[in-house]
Amino acid sequence: MTRLLISLAGLIGAAGVALAAASAHGADASRLASASAMLLFHATAVLACVALLARGLLHGGIGLVAAFGFVIGAALFAGDLTLRQYAGHSLFPYAAPTGGTLMIASWLALTLAAVVARK
């Protein structure tokens, strides 16, 4: 499971850098800058979750839920903004807010995972 999370973090990190480059070179690409930031921040958060899980500092199940929530939430948020930028329509109704809400919930899950972790 941790290798999968590390791989997903690498993919969303790479996508974040690609969107940052597209944002820097495109006209009116503020959506891409926001998408890039969410991907890059949450790729790092996933890697941190993996490291904290390996050290036993997070509750295993809740920590995994948080890490996968970061991946899915960031993908929904960034995917929706990117599709709006390039295709002119959304991924599905409320995809970006759903992704954002999932990222917030994942940060709260991370908090819970730290609080209830076995000492």
**Tens-binned pLDDT, residue by residue, of the chain (119 aa):** 899 999 999 999 999 999 999 999 977 788 999 999 999 999 999 999 999 999 999 999 999 999 999 999 999 999 999 999 999 999 999 999 999 999 999 999 999 999 998 86
For 111, the enclosing helix (H) or strand (E) is helix 95-115
Q: Cα–Cα distances in Å, from 69 out to 28, 45, 61, 110? A: 29, 11, 12, 10
In the 8-state DSSP scheme, what is residue 31?
Answer: H
The encoded tokens of residue 19 equal: 């969107």
For 38, the domain range is 2-115
- Domains identified in the chain, total number: 1
Give pLDDT, residue 118: 80
- Distance separating alpha carbons of residues 37 and 20, to the nearest angstrom: 8
**37 three-state secondary structure:** helix
